[in-house]
Structure 1
Amino acid sequence: MHISNRYFFLTSICRRFFTSLAILLLLVTCAANAGPWIEVGDSQLRSDIQILADAGVIRGPVSTWPLAWGNIVNDLDTSVSLKPFEMAALARVRRESRRQMVVGEVHLDGRIALSDSAIEIRSFEDTPREHSEIELSASWTGDNTAMNFQITKVDDPLDGKKWRGDGSYFGISVGNWMYSISAQDRWWGPGWQG
């Protein structure tokens, strides 16, 4: 009888914990994930930025990711004559920049990813690296400072690291320079797949 009561008690605690975690994740995933960089993982946004670069709207390099929102936003006020699909891309990038560049608010985010087989050759998309992942992050962007603290718990990792800080950063802008300490994904060159 003693073992059965302990089992019931532990099962009840686990059920409450995971129910609370699921509710919390549902609430925080509605929040915007904002920051000073255009992160890897949104192929539509990347395509729109490439369209605008090809049209001469965005004048800086767009082949090294993550890109700085500040550099992109400075080029969006344009008088260049654009085709309808380029105008649509410009509208989408402007809308996303307004959503991402909110200053002074804390943004919470969460993600659960499950996969029956981890993808070894990765594309630009934000796909799971392992069979199951739970990720929580908190970010804040100020006038000259930005930070994101992100932690990921991985089940049965290939590299043996169950806890990861990938995606975390702390950065300070001084003039037109951004100094940062980070564990961010970097993509170099014009390729669309890794």
Structure 2
Amino acid sequence: MIKRYSVIACAVAMTFSNSITAEPWIDSKDIYLRQSIEQLVSYGVIKHPVTSYPIMWQGIANDLTDVNLSKLPKEAEFALNHVRHALRFAQKSVRSGIKLKANSKPNEQQAFGERYQEQAALQGYSMMMGERVTAKVSVQVSNDANSGKKIAYDDSYLAVIFGNWVMSGEKINHWWGPANENALMLSNNASPMKALRLTRLNSDYFGPNLLSFIGNWQFTALLGEQKHNKQTPSSNKFFGARFSTSPFQGLELGYSQTAQFDANNQDHDFADFNNVLIGKNKFKNDSIINEYNQLVSLDAKYSSQLFGQSMAVYGELAGDKQNSMLPEHRNYTVGIEHYFGQADYLVKSYLEYTNTQQQCGDNTQPYHCGYQHPYFADGYQHHSQNIGASIAENAKSMTLASQYHQTNGIAAYAKLRFIEQDQATNNPLAKNQKRYQIELGYQQGVFNGLWQVSAQFGKQESDLNPKSDRISALRTSWEYRF
């Protein structure tokens, strides 16, 4: 079905003869561009929702044209110049690039940012943009990828503008919510699904004054296909929708819903999916099991100035959806951020805590209410990778991190992370497992390209293995754009 949608999107695109002048969105890979955008939100420069990646450029571009430089403090100058530079690059009508990756060990837990989930990879991509249509073709050849794919087309898409909406056939990652480490609904952790997506282009508020309290708002909906591992070659359809709004300066609220349906081992068709949209579950075991594995989340982030410092607090509450529009059997993420900058650098630091310790069913057959499910053998995964929180089910995680970026492109980050797996998990090898990690990253320009390197060190211990296992990994990439 997804292939048919892509063909339809291509046919529609061919009806437009004009070219677009800018890439429509900001992807979910650049942690340093994200921190610049977030600091500008805290100063009231950017007034549009920015917790739904990909973020559409149009609203942000409009905000940048309205900046009053005389009222902008020195601390935000770097962030403003950085985002403006990224916008100018996004306005190139044609561009291409190559990327090389080498990793001593594929990354099994992916936070927001560049993905390193293969041992080695060579990627080539090319993008062409016009007035109403943009297309990107990306091909990656990998060795020992977590997804099991040797050749992948991740980051490829075809997007068409219809008025204030963008329809795209794509294979890209999404990051829903304000979290830095563990987005509970959709994250960078898994390789992207093939999907058809509809997104609002400009998140400005248009409508009657009676509803103007909503503020600038964004809506996106996608229909994709989840693939599972080679041992159980199955698939199911995946639906996701997110609404986010910024009712007043610095505050952003979000509501997300996802659902898995039409699995190979189910006898329900697309017509039954109407029950997902209207909130009815009239099936044989609806008192025990949400047959479509519907998940919902509420999230909020508030950014402002406190004692002359740029600060933000955020949280996400997620769970399964059975009897109302609100999450049940709740997981949550909470965090606090601090930003400090000058004309030539910006530093972001954050502390984030995530808890996914939930259990449904009885003591003989327990399962996680959202990330495991009796009707979906591989759970909330794509190619055996978690599509929500990277720590998966029945775990809790604490991360303290700081990242630094300066004018010449040199940047670095450091993370301290603790993860504990709870006894409630069904995997006996993971019971009472504890992981302590230190992660360091650095980037700078090399040979007219961008070189990035990161290292991770830590130890792992569990009840089944009282002795600590030492873990280390070194990852590097080089990207050249032309």
Q: Using structure 1 for the length normalisation, give the TM-score.
A: 0.77
Structure with greater helix percent:
1
Deviations 1:81-140 (A, max 9, x none): 22112132112111220121123x2x1111110000111111222132111111111111
Residue equivalent to 2:80:
90
Deviations 1:2-39 (A, max 9, x none): xxxxxxxxxxxxxxxxxxxxxxxxxxxxxxxx832111
Tell me how far apart the structure 2 counterparts of residues 125 and 176 of structure 1 sit (CA, whole Å): 28
Tell me how far apart the structure 1 counterparts of residues 89 and 123 of structure 2 sit (CA, whole Å): 22
Q: Secondary structure at the match of 2:88?
A: helix
Counterpart residue type for residue 124 of structure 1: F
Residue equivalent to 2:133:
145
CA contact (8 A) 1:40 1:65 kept: yes
1:1-194 to 2 correspondences below 5 Å: 35-80=23-68, 81-103=71-93, 105=94, 107-194=95-182
Q: Using structure 2 for the length normalisation, give the TM-score.
A: 0.32
CA contact (8 A) 2:117 2:146 kept: no
Larger radius of gyration: 2
Tell me how far apart the structure 1 counterparts of residues 74 and 25 of structure 2 sit (CA, whole Å): 27
Identical counterparts, % of pairs: 28
Tell me how far apart the structure 2 counterparts of residues 142 and 158 of structure 1 sit (CA, whole Å): 35
Q: Secondary structure at the match of 1:173?
A: strand
Alignment root-mean-square deviation, CA: 1.5
**Runs of 4 or more consecutive aligned structure 1 residues displaced over 3 Å after TM superposition:** none
Gapped regions of structure 1 (runs ≥ 5): 1-33
CA contact (8 A) 2:106 2:145 kept: no
How many residue pairs were aligned?
Answer: 159
Q: Secondary structure at the match of 1:178?
A: strand
CA contact (8 A) 1:36 1:141 kept: no
Tell me how far apart the structure 2 counterparts of residues 123 and 149 of structure 1 sit (CA, whole Å): 25
Tell me how far apart the structure 2 counterparts of residues 167 and 69 of structure 1 sit (CA, whole Å): 17
Tell me how far apart the structure 2 counterparts of residues 100 and 41 of structure 1 sit (CA, whole Å): 15
Counterpart residue type for residue 42 of structure 1: D
Tell me how far apart the structure 2 counterparts of residues 37 and 133 of structure 1 sit (CA, whole Å): 25
CA contact (8 A) 1:113 1:132 kept: yes
Tell me how far apart the structure 1 counterparts of residues 64 and 147 of structure 2 sit (CA, whole Å): 42
Counterpart residue type for residue 150 of structure 1: S
The one of the two structures with greater contact order (alpha-carbon pairs below 8 A, sep at least 6) is 1
**Greater alpha carbon shift after TM alignment, 35-44 vs 172-181:** 35-44
Displacement of 1:56 in angstroms is: 1.3
Tell me how far apart the structure 1 counterparts of residues 78 and 104 of structure 2 sit (CA, whole Å): 37
* Alpha-carbon spacing, 1:57–1:138, altered in 2? closer, same or farther (3 Å): same
* Alpha-carbon spacing, 1:190–1:149, altered in 2? closer, same or farther (3 Å): same
Tell me how far apart the structure 1 counterparts of residues 127 and 31 of structure 2 sit (CA, whole Å): 22
Q: Secondary structure at the match of 2:134?
A: strand
Gapped regions of structure 2 (runs ≥ 5): 1-21, 183-482
